[in-house]
Homo-oligomer: A and B are copies of this chain.
Amino acid sequence: MNTLQELKDFVSNGYKTYIPHISLDCAIFGYHDHQLKILLMAMKAIKGFCLPGGYIKRTETLDEAASRTVQEKTGISGLYLQQYKTFGNPDRLRWDDFEVEELAKMEGFSQIRNSWLMDQTVSVGYYAITDFLLVQPRPDFFSTSCAWCDIDKMPDLLFDHNDMVKQALQTLRMQLYYYPIAEKLLPKKFTLTEIHAVYETLLGKTLDIRNFPKKLIFLGLLTRLNEKRNIGPHRAPYLYSFNNKKYSRALKLGMTLS
């Protein structure tokens, strides 16, 4: 959707193409070198920041809708987007009169007051994580910005999006111990120092570097290779890799730790 005519048509007739009452929102985390960020958008029509989100076409699966939405809103493709929770508190949208009135004054938005877009909506939450140096987000037609924000400096977001980020981060932290999430943020073979930095940053806490790998090795997620990396005189730490076979099996059959 890149023209005003398309936008007008979306407000008037979008419910024929998209399923009303359902949306999706994506918490996209970015990691690099001890830093954790979240991708936020600012829209032309509404003051404040929010997660990239959109509606589900009647012909799409939810996963397809999530990929398309992220691509359209941020320009990013190829993310592994994972559904984590659906949000449906009755007061989650809080369109107050002011916002709707302001929207209605904008060209193309005059019919928005009584449109399908104003009705109660349940939103399916997706999350993803990527190395933020590897992707270049760009705002779409409706947005003034689309950019990485330090997780510690995240402002109050619109709607229930603070709760969405909080719960996405909690899910990511749980899944760090049974999905190969950190794999996308590390080289194929990595040192303990490297994986330790990823885990400390994503978990937002200090981890004992001696005990931490024992747990991942015990769980069968991490394998020590018979290979070292020379990083200086007398400094040649062992290299490690994720045990992908174990992960694939866990993803297929459920994680059973045996």
Question: Is residue A255 within 8 Å, beta carbon to beta carbon, of the partner chain?
Answer: yes
Interface residue tally of chain A, by bracket? 35 or more
How many copies of the chain does the oligomer comprise?
2
Q: Contact mask A213-255 → B, CB, 8 Å, 1/0?
A: 0010010000000000000000000000000000000100111
Which B residue's beta carbon lies closest to that of A21?
B21
Across the interface, A56 reaches (CB within 8 A) one of B122, B177, B212, B253, namely B122
Please, how many angstroms separate the alpha-carbon atoms of A202 and B250 in the complex? 15
A61-B88, A83-B85, A89-B61 known; A122+B254 contact, CB < 8 A: no
Bound state CA distance, A59 and B90, in angstroms?
A: 6
Partner of A258, one of B21, B124, B207: B207
How far apart sit A61 and B60, CA to CA, in the bound complex (Å)?
A: 26
A-B contact pairs, 12 of them (CB 8 A): A19-B88, A19-B120, A19-B122, A20-B20, A21-B21, A21-B22, A56-B88, A59-B90, A60-B90, A122-B122, A170-B253, A203-B256
